[in-house]
Structure 1
Amino acid sequence: MIRLTAAAALLRAGATVSLSEPELLGLSTCVRPGAVCFDIGAAYGMYTYPLAQLVGPTGQVHSFEPLPLPYRLLETGVRASGARNVRVTNAALGASLGWRTLRLPYRFGLPIHGWAHLEEGLKHPGQFAAAKTLEVPVYSVDRVCELREIARVDFMKVDVEGFEAEVLEGARWTIEQHRPALLMEIEQRHVDKYGRTSAEVAGSLIERGYRMHVWHGRRWRRTDRVAAPRRNYLFIANALGKPDGGRHVRTWDGA
């Protein structure tokens, strides 16, 4: 676990100087030892390693990445770090099961892995005409929990380039039963590809009793709207500061 701790510490250090996402610094307020976490759209593991370190040997991190190269690098890194509490899956998550087409934009002949997105439900392809496509397996959170006999989910990070509404739909039972904390990337430029609005995506959780927060001034602060230039929003259910299913929120503003 020493290598895992070092990897997580390096990513958190990067967050202090904007080399990695600043929200990494706030994970410890809602992810506790023994927690069960989903990293959806894991890429190279920016969140996987810190989550694995936080949940410890009694916890679980289920990471999902559909692109072959990031998946291989993440799988190799997880093995090298000794993170036995991480399970990496080469797949996307959505509302239903099956094989779907993933669109990988290119610019100047190079793939932009961070902007890859599923074509299912796509209404506006976006600014990149050049793209390659590949077929990838798609599961749902609810189905993964059933297949893997996961008794609870405490935290979900979702970064799927506009496909967030479909992921939430496929996690409907899990959200209602376990009320996990959710760290969501919500950007209008991405959700617009699927004919949605950022307010619509955030509102679907607020309607279910969640409160929305942003990481600002080294703490989570309440907000009531999605606004640029922020990308990531933390949604917490129930009373703030109340233990709930293995997670415990500690430091808040405006509770």
Structure 2
Amino acid sequence: MKPSRDTAQPFWPTRYGIAAAVAADNAVARSLELYGEWAEHETLLLSGLIEEGQTVLEFGADFAAHALWMAQAVGPQGEVHVAEPRRIPFQQACANVAINGLANVFTHPVWLGRGKGTSSLGSLLPGHRPGTDEKVRVATVDSLKLDALHLLKVNQPYALVDILAGAGDTIRAHRPLIYARLSGMDAAQAEVEAIKAQGYRAWSHVPYLFNGENHAGVGTNIFPGMVQQNVVAAPADSRFEFAERLEL
């Protein structure tokens, strides 16, 4: 096991680029700080699905941890669009995009849902902490008017059903793959049903947060037994088949 890395440095070297150091008060930041990566088992699955020249839309920036990788995966002719409604996380994601000179990443300060206007985070996120609320702009995926879309990646809990409701035209036009984190027992069934209502098949993906082959070579597991409850979905008439995974 390698010792813990120096956490006083202003930048963190990660698997896919440099990240500006932030307060490590959540799982994403702690993972980037200690391991130099976040949820790498997600990228291992998606790396077989994303190709050069494609377009990806991600909701929930996670400090651009996966956007750094996706920017490399789609190459200079591709596009990565990242939507993040919260002001400080949005600015932190923009900083990491700028530090790494990612000209093919486009950031959007917006909550992706079924309508447009403004709303409070407290009304959008169940259990949002009092005193940390803020007004955010709400828009639909369709309003982005993307010329192409090959993957819709949703990191933000309690957002998937509304995102799909506001993405009907885009999904019908481009038939992207969908990869999303489910929101727990109270919401997962409705989220999976919303995916299937688009004419999709859906499979379970349960990646561990700890990667034993992490970028920093740290053997200590600060996420023992912790997994993401995710879903990967493809149009029912497409070539995609995930036979090794449980179909939902």
Identify unmatched segments of 5+ residues in structure 1: 104-118, 219-227, 243-248
Matches within 5 A, 1:24-39: 24-39=43-58
What is the deviation of 1:235? 0.7
Aligned partner of 1:205 in structure 2 is: 195
The CA RMSD over aligned residues, in Å, is: 3.2
Query: Structure 1 229/199 Cα, relative in aligned 2: closer, same or farther at 3 Å?
Result: farther
The residue correspondences of 1:20-169 to structure 2 (distance < 5 A) are 20-21=38-39, 22-103=41-122, 119-120=123-124, 125-126=126-127, 130-145=130-145, 150-169=146-165
Contact 1:43 1:71 in 2 (8 A): no
State percent identity of aligned pairs.
24
Q: Deviations over 1:121-166 (max 9, x none)?
A: x7xx43x663422111111100111xxxx22211011122212111
Distance in 1 (CA, whole Å) between partners of 2:207 and 2:86 is: 34
Name the CA shift for 1:40/1:129 in 2 (closer, same or farther; >3 Å): closer
**Quick one: structure 1 residues 6 and 185, their matched pair in 2 at CA, closer, same or farther if it must change by over 3 Å?**
closer
Corresponding position of 1:253:
244
CA distance in 2, matches of 1:230, 1:205: 18
1:29 and 1:250 in contact (8 A); partners too? no
Partner Cα distance (1:130, 1:41) in 2: 20
Contact 2:63/2:89 (<8 A) preserved: yes
Distance in 2 of aligned mates of 1:94 and 1:208: 16
Deviation at 1:52, TM superposition (A): 0.9
Distance in 1, matches of 2:94 and 2:15, equals 17
> Could you say which residue in structure 1 is the equivalent of 2:180?
184
Alpha carbons of 1:87 and 1:217: their partners in 2 closer, same or farther (altered >3 Å)? closer
Tell me the SS of whatever aligns to 1:58. Answer: coil
1:251 is displaced (CA, Å) by 7.4
- TM-score w.r.t. length of structure 2: 0.71
Distance change (3 Å), C-alpha of 1:132 and 1:58 = same
> Secondary structure of the equivalent of 2:89?
helix
Report the residue type matching 1:213 in the other structure. W
Matched residue type, 2:194: S
Q: Equivalents in 2 of 1:41, 1:95: separation in Å?
A: 16
Check 1:172–1:40 CA distance in 2 against 1; reply closer, same or farther (3 A cut): same
1:30/1:250 contact within 8 Å kept: no
1:80-135 Cα deviation digits (max 9, x unpaired): 111100011221111111111113xxxxxxxxxxxxxxx15x7xx43x66342211
Task: Give the match for residue 167 of structure 2.
Answer: 171
Unaligned runs of 5+ in 2: 1-12, 19-27, 209-225
Bigger drift between 201-210 and 60-69 goes to 201-210
Q: 1:98 to 1:152 in 2, by over 3 A?
A: same
Change (3 A) 1:250 1:57: farther
Q: Would you say the 8 A contact 2:206–2:227 is kept in 1?
A: no
Structure 1 pair 252/70, CA: closer, same or farther in 2 (3 Å)? Answer: same
- Cα distance in 1 for partners of 2:242, 2:197 equals 24
Distance 1:88 1:30 in 2: 22
